[in-house]
Amino acid sequence: MAKQKQDEGQAPKLTINDIARMAGVSKKTVSRVINRSPLLNQETRDKVEAIIRETGYVPNPQARALALGRNFLIGLVYDNPNVQMILSMQKGILEALHGTEFELVIRPVDRGSNLVMDDIKSFVTRQRLFGVVILPPMSENDALARMLDEEGCRYVRMGSAVLDDPEHMVASNDREAVADAVRHLIAQGHRRIGLIAGPHGFRSAQERREGFELALTEAGISLPRSLIADGQYTFESGLSASESLLDLSPRPTAIFASNDEMAAGVLYAARLRGIAVPEELSIIGFDDTPVTTRVWPPLTTVRWPIVAMGRAAALKLIGTAIGEGSEVNEPSMFSSTLIRRGSVAPPATS
Amino acid sequence: MAKQKQDEGQAPKLTINDIARMAGVSKKTVSRVINRSPLLNQETRDKVEAIIRETGYVPNPQARALALGRNFLIGLVYDNPNVQMILSMQKGILEALHGTEFELVIRPVDRGSNLVMDDIKSFVTRQRLFGVVILPPMSENDALARMLDEEGCRYVRMGSAVLDDPEHMVASNDREAVADAVRHLIAQGHRRIGLIAGPHGFRSAQERREGFELALTEAGISLPRSLIADGQYTFESGLSASESLLDLSPRPTAIFASNDEMAAGVLYAARLRGIAVPEELSIIGFDDTPVTTRVWPPLTTVRWPIVAMGRAAALKLIGTAIGEGSEVNEPSMFSSTLIRRGSVAPPATS
DNA sequence: CCGTTTCATGACACCGGTGTCCAAATGGGC
DNA sequence: GCCCATTTGGACACCGGTGTCATGAAACGG
Give, in Å, how far the C1' of D30 lies from the CA of B242.
91
Q: Is the dihedral of CA A199, A200, A201, A204 positive or negative?
A: positive
pLDDT tops 70 at residue A347: yes
Looking at every residue in chain A, the average pLDDT score rounds to 90
pLDDT tops 50 at residue B85: yes
Could you tell me the pLDDT band of residue A1, with boundaries at 50, 70 and 90?
very low
Residue of B nearest to A146 (CA): B10
Residue A172: which residues within 8 A CB-CB, separation 6 or more?
A159, A160, A304, A305, A309, A333, A334, A335, A336
Distance of residue A61 Cα from the nearest chain B Cα, in angstroms: 6
For chain A, give the number of residues: 350
pLDDT tops 70 at residue B307: yes
Q: What is the separation, in whole angstroms, between the first and last Cα of chain A?
A: 91
Question: What gap in Å lies between CA B223 and CA B216, rounded to an integer?
Answer: 7
Element (H, E) at A21: helix A16-23
Distance of residue A79 Cα from the nearest chain B Cα, in angstroms: 12
Distance of residue B218 Cα from the nearest chain A Cα, in angstroms: 34
Rg (CA), chain B: 26
What does the pLDDT read at residue A271? 96
Check whether residue A2 has its CB closer than 7 Å to nucleic acid strand D: no
Give, in Å, how far the C1' of D1 lies from the CA of B40.
29
Determine the average pLDDT of the residues in B243-255.
Answer: 96
What does the pLDDT read at residue B74? 95
Is residue A336 a contact partner of residue A173, using CB atoms and an 8 Å limit? Answer: yes
Residues in a beta bridge with B256? B195, B284
Q: Do B152 and A11 touch (CB under 8 A)?
A: yes
Alpha carbons within 13 A on the beta-carbon side of B21: 6
Residue of A nearest to B92 (CA): A108
Give, in Å, how far the C1' of D24 lies from the CA of A55.
31
Query: ω into residue A278 within 30 of 0, thus cis?
Result: yes
Determine the average pLDDT of the residues in B224-245.
Answer: 97
Amino acid at position B167, single letter: E
Question: What gap in Å lies between CA B323 and CA B219, rounded to an integer?
Answer: 47
Determine the average pLDDT of the residues in B329-348.
Answer: 93
pLDDT tops 70 at residue B26: yes
What does the pLDDT read at residue A83? 86
What does the pLDDT read at residue A325? 46
Check whether residue A315 has its CB closer than 7 Å to nucleic acid strand D: no
Residues in a beta bridge with A171? A159, A333
pLDDT tops 50 at residue B233: yes
Helical axes A116-127 vs A142-151, angle rounded to 10°: 30
Q: Do A11 and B65 touch (CB under 8 A)?
A: no
What does the pLDDT read at residue B12? 66
B254 — phi, psi (to 5°)?
-150, 150
Is residue A23 a contact partner of residue A47, using CB atoms and an 8 Å limit? Answer: yes
pLDDT tops 80 at residue A323: no
Report chain D positions within 7 A of protein CB atoms.
7-12, 14-20
What does the pLDDT read at residue A151? 81
pLDDT tops 90 at residue B80: no
Question: What gap in Å lies between CA A108 and CA A317, rounded to an integer?
Answer: 19
Task: Classify residue A40 as exposed, middle or buried by CB count within 10 Å of its CB (0-12, 13-18, 19+).
Answer: middle
Is residue B343 a contact partner of residue B279, using CB atoms and an 8 Å limit? Answer: no
Looking at every residue in chain B, the average pLDDT score rounds to 89
pLDDT tops 50 at residue B1: no
The residue among B271, B293, B288 whose CA lies nearest residue B280 is B271
Could you tell me the pLDDT band of residue A4, with boundaries at 50, 70 and 90?
very low
Rg (CA), chain A: 26
Please state the separation of Cα B33 from the chain's center in Å.
37
Determine the average pLDDT of the residues in A186-200.
Answer: 97
Is residue B208 a contact partner of residue B198, using CB atoms and an 8 Å limit? Answer: yes
Give DSSP secondary structure letters for A38-59.
SSS-HHHHHHHHHHHHHHT---
Could you tell me the pLDDT band of residue A350, with boundaries at 50, 70 and 90?
low
Give, in Å, how far the C1' of C10 lies from the CA of B149.
38
Question: What gap in Å lies between CA B313 and CA A116, rounded to an integer?
Answer: 26
What does the pLDDT read at residue A12? 66
What does the pLDDT read at residue B337? 97
Is residue A283 a contact partner of residue A318, using CB atoms and an 8 Å limit? Answer: no
Q: Do B86 and A84 touch (CB under 8 A)?
A: no
Amino acid at position A223, single letter: L
What does the pLDDT read at residue B321? 59
Distance of residue B56 Cα from the nearest chain A Cα, in angstroms: 10
Please state which of the ranges A62-66, A256-260, B239-243 shows the lowest mean pLDDT: A62-66
Question: 3-class secondary structure for chain B?
Answer: CCCHHHCCCCCCCCCHHHHHHHHCCCHHHHHHHHCCCCCCCHHHHHHHHHHHHHHCCCCCHHHHHHHHCCCCEEEEEECCCCHHHHHHHHHHHHHHHCCCCCEEEEEECCCCCCCHHHHHHHHHHHHCCCEEEECCCHHHCHHHHHHHHHHCCEEEEEECCCCCCHHHEEEECHHHHHHHHHHHHHHCCCCCEEEEECCCCCHHHHHHHHHHHHHHHHCCCCCCHHHEEECCCCHHHHHHHHHHHHHCCCCCCEEEECCHHHHHHHHHHHHHHCCCCCCCCEEECCCCCCHHHHCCCCCEEEECCHHHHHHHHHHHHHHHHHCCCCCCCCCCEECCEEECCCCCCCCCCC
What does the pLDDT read at residue A342? 97
A21 — phi, psi (to 5°)?
-65, -45
In this complex, the nucleotide whose C1' atom is nearest to the CA atom of residue B17 is C16
Residue B45: which residues within 8 A CB-CB, separation 6 or more?
B33
Q: Write the pLDDT tens digit of every residue in B130-142.
A: 999 999 998 888 9
Output DSSP code: residue A98: T
Spell out the long-range contacts of B225-231 with Cβ–Cβ below 8 A and sequence spacing 24 or more.
Answer: B227/B192, B227/B193, B227/B194, B227/B195, B227/B252, B228/B194, B228/B195, B228/B197, B229/B194, B229/B195, B229/B196, B229/B197, B230/B196, B230/B197, B230/B199, B230/B200, B231/B196, B231/B197, B231/B198, B231/B199, B231/B257, B231/B258, B231/B262, B231/B265
Q: Write the pLDDT tens digit of every residue in A161-186.
A: 877 788 899 999 999 999 999 999 99
Q: What's this model's pTM, rounded to 2 decimal places? A: 0.90
Q: Do A290 and B290 touch (CB under 8 A)?
A: no
Q: Do B235 and A293 touch (CB under 8 A)?
A: yes
What does the pLDDT read at residue B216? 98
Q: Do A10 and B101 touch (CB under 8 A)?
A: no
pLDDT tops 60 at residue A324: no
Partner-chain residue, chosen from B90, B107, B294, that has the shortest CB–CB distance to A264: B294
pLDDT tops 50 at residue B340: yes
Residues of chain B positioned with their CB less than 8 A from the CB of A69:
5
Q: Which residue is nearest to nucleotide C12 (CA to C1')?
A: A28
Please state which of the ranges A18-22, A258-262, B194-198 shows the lowest mean pLDDT: A18-22
Which stretches does DSSP call E strand in chain A?
73-78, 103-108, 131-134, 154-159, 169-172, 193-197, 228-230, 254-257, 282-284, 301-303, 333-334, 337-339
What does the pLDDT read at residue B11? 56
Give, in Å, how far the C1' of D3 lies from the CA of B325.
39
Q: Write the pLDDT tens digit of every residue in A67-85.
A: 988 889 999 999 977 888 9
Q: Write the pLDDT tens digit of every residue in B250-293.
A: 999 999 999 999 999 999 999 999 999 999 999 999 999 999 99
Question: What gap in Å lies between CA A78 and CA A178, rounded to an integer?
Answer: 24
Give, in Å, how far the C1' of D13 lies from the CA of B28.
13
Distance of residue B217 Cα from the nearest chain A Cα, in angstroms: 33
Residues of chain A positioned with their CB less than 8 A from the CB of B273:
none
Is residue A173 a contact partner of residue A331, using CB atoms and an 8 Å limit? Answer: no
Give DSSP secondary structure letters for A254-312.
EEEESSHHHHHHHHHHHHHHT--TTTT-EEE-SS--THHHHSSSPPBEEE--HHHHHHH
Residues of chain B positioned with their CB less than 8 A from the CB of A13:
128
Question: What gap in Å lies between CA A87 and CA A221, rounded to an integer?
Answer: 38
Could you tell me the pLDDT band of residue A320, with boundaries at 50, 70 and 90?
low
Residue B139: which residues within 8 A CB-CB, separation 6 or more?
B157, B158, B159, B163
What does the pLDDT read at residue A329? 74
Q: Write the pLDDT tens digit of every residue in B86-139.
A: 999 999 999 999 888 899 999 999 887 888 888 898 888 888 899 999 999 988
The residue among A91, A328, A302 whose CA lies nearest residue A184 is A302
The residue among B272, B301, B283 whose CA lies nearest residue A293 is B272
Please state which of the ranges A319-328, B227-236, B332-341 shows the lowest mean pLDDT: A319-328
Check whether residue A101 has its CB closer than 7 Å to nucleic acid strand D: no
Could you tell me the pLDDT band of residue B6, with boundaries at 50, 70 and 90?
very low
Amino acid at position B190, single letter: H
Check whether residue A226 has its CB closer than 7 Å to nucleic acid strand D: no
Question: What gap in Å lies between CA A231 and CA A342, rounded to an integer?
Answer: 23
Of residues A163 and A234, more confidently modeled? A234
In this complex, the nucleotide whose C1' atom is nearest to the CA atom of residue A37 is C8
Give, in Å, how far the C1' of C15 lies from the CA of B135.
37
What does the pLDDT read at residue A211? 98
Question: What gap in Å lies between CA A75 and CA A226, rounded to an integer?
Answer: 43
Q: Do A86 and B87 touch (CB under 8 A)?
A: yes
Question: What gap in Å lies between CA A313 and CA A328, rounded to an integer?
Answer: 11
Is residue B277 a contact partner of residue B37, using CB atoms and an 8 Å limit? Answer: no
User: Which of the residues B62, B109, B268 would you substitute to probe the A interface, choosing the one with the greatest number of A C-beta atoms within 10 Å?
Assistant: B62
What does the pLDDT read at residue B225? 96
Distance of residue A51 Cα from the nearest chain B Cα, in angstroms: 17
